Structure 1
């Protein structure tokens, strides 16, 4: 930090500059191609406030790699990149030159992955994993306890690799029913601690300087994704899997990302046969900003454990603004939205069957359901 930067801190100019830079993030919500309906516009600006909260957590409150703590960079009221409603996410700042110990218990998660990464949505580096381990690869002690060493040099036993450039950890815990199943409680400690956990004025300006680029970078990246998905609206083709990895995706997950758009009296019917071997799968609806729709109050996602299969083993999901009836038990609500993102994930699958979609009049679908009951 230069003497000029320190003077900016002392005079308060640092804060004025931060507030001024924050204004620029609004351009992402008003950019060409973004929907202009009132709900999407309101959610867009709310999205920026949510990203601001997350960015402050990431860059100020939990940014010390020598006094690491797990926190959540995506949750019920702050969301990034088609966040999975079945997931409990945890993040942690690390320094790839140090070593760490993670301890925990297996809990009740259907799937657990722990990854080291370098870079962020602000554009610093590729976010593909620099190390990846799943619960099934860990040696567990009595009662499901485990210890995992994290370092750039190989270790005996449970080891999560990283590189000297690694600067964060991402944990995904995936549940059958997140409201009822017990989370894995993780703890982390740095084995090479340095200094004290005290705010450093010399570092503070740099930390503040990273807050807004994270907001603009995150909003800009996924807005660009949605513009690309507009080439296959209401279809659900496979993603470019490497693109997903570069944006922080899990290498054990196969992604189908797309864009849905419906008139009020239309329904989107999605049909697929689940992979023969697959730890779990789920499908979700999101808004244009790739935030999952509010799963606290609306049924907007479905997974392998909750889906009802057709007699031939297929999954039929109906996306519509109102319930088409008991003949379609896998109905998901658009929760008042006209358009948004959608995502189908296969976790640890060995095959990737095609996904078929069609848009139909909601009344005709309801009539079809009534005919089935008769």
Structure 2
């Protein structure tokens, strides 16, 4: 007998709240929906709802922002399918990337290589790797998802400096809810994912640290379970909606300080997956074609690294494969007093401003200055000036 459509649609809508607890309930009717095709029809129908984010109040109405918004939804869909279908088994864990060159979330760092992995706080795991020459490495356990509107504060956090290394930089890291001797990354029983950040001076030229993970509890090789697949598919769209909605709301909040770079609410950043060793200045930029944004600051006295980036309205880093849209401690040119002056503009103001970043055809978007393991957090000065005054050398 065909499953009632109203019942199925309600279950898909409820998947957002059920995913945050990790207790999506299966029933005979859901297996019936898988068998008769209703599960797929409801998946496709529910995906339409994500489009409301692109036309919501406060979203820029220019064609580029709208086109990037719909592209953003397709990217989030790809990531969600990876997360919930392809790499979702915590008993047979594998690292994958939930943010990369062509699919991005929440002001992704162009200097970073991100890795993610599904885990279960009731199991124990072993991560092995070699430290290599990475600038900064952090590994965190978490118990949440953007589908729940961003409650991803770390349940455990470790950096490269915390690890005991072998003579050639090799290491072994145990991950569990119970303390372990040596290198240990804590979890809680609620922990359900791992996030790894590898930060580089020059990501295009420096080798990535290779990591492997295994579950220490004996597990059989996985075989697709129809009931589990039905549950997983219902989690895909809530992730898309939750992620798009979360960061759209962030941008509406940042609109209160356009073209300024005040400190972020750091706890808000942690709840959305931020690193506790990083201090964040998130904001909103908006410039006319004839305008430029000057950003000036003195980096912290002690700071492992820092970087500044430009993103679009959807908080996706602008396409760093083809445009210079970010700068870091190693690539920046410094003033004689040790300060940094960054110029954000649609056109190059010339050699007097070597730290120019292009808006890549955008009228507005997000921007982020982050300090990693900083001893202090100096204020940041910003001002909008006429681009022609920069080109003419009339700005001090």
- Aligned residues, how many? 371
**Residues 1:23 and 2:48 are matched in the alignment:** yes
Query: How far 1:126 moved relative to its partner?
Result: 2.3
Tell me what 2:197 maps to. Answer: 172
Corresponding residue for 1:206?
231
Contact 1:122 1:217 in 2 (8 A): yes
Contact kept, 8 Å, 2:306 with 2:369, in 1: the verdict is: yes
Shift of 1:124: 7.2
Deviation at 1:297, TM superposition (A): 0.2
- C-alpha separation in 1, matches of 2:97 and 2:271: 20
Aligned: 1:280 with 2:302: no
1:186-265 to 2 correspondences below 5 Å: 186-265=211-290
Matched with 2:328 is 303
5+ residue gaps, structure 2 = 1-25
Contact 2:149 2:242 in 1 (8 A): no
Which residue pairs with 1:364 in the alignment?
Answer: 389
Deviations 1:339-371 (A, max 9, x none): 0000000000010000000000000111116x9
Unaligned runs of 5+ in 1: none
Superposed CA offset, 1:271-314 (max 9, x none)? 00000000000000000000000000000000000000011111
- TM-score, normalised with respect to structure 2: 0.93
What CA distance in whole angstroms lies between the structure 2 residues aligned with 1:64 and 1:104? 21
CA apart distance, 1:194: 3.3
With structure 1 as the length reference, what TM-score do the two structures score?
Answer: 0.98
CA RMSD of aligned residues (A): 1.0
Rounded Cα–Cα distance in structure 2 between residues aligned with 1:51 and 1:326? 38
Q: Are residue 7 (structure 1) and residue 32 (structure 2) matched?
A: yes
What SS does the corresponding residue of 2:47 show, helix, strand or coil? Answer: helix
Q: Give how far 1:107 is off.
A: 1.6
Aligned to 2:68: 43
**1:92 corresponding residue in structure 2:** 117
Say yes or no: does 1:339 pair with 2:373.
no
In the TM superposition, residue 202 of structure 1 has moved relative to its aligned partner by: 1.1
For residues 20-67 of structure 1, the C-alpha deviation after alignment (integer angstroms, 9 at most, x for no partner) is: 000000001110000010000000000000000000000000000000
> Equivalent residue for 2:296?
271
2:144 to 110, 115, 119: 119
CA separation in 2, counterparts of 1:265 and 1:139? 53
Aligned to 1:326: 351
SS at the partner of 1:20? helix
Deviations 1:235-290 (A, max 9, x none): 00000000000000000000000000000010000000000000000000000000
Runs (4 or more) in structure 1 with deviation over 4 Å come to none
User: Which position in structure 1 is the counterpart of 2:340?
Assistant: 315
Distance in 2 (alpha carbons) for counterparts of 1:259 and 1:124 = 20
How far apart, CA to CA, are the structure 1 residues paired with 2:34 and 2:137? 42
Structure 2 Cα separation of the partners of residues 39 and 79 of structure 1: 17
Q: Is the 8 A contact 1:67 1:193 kept in 2?
A: no
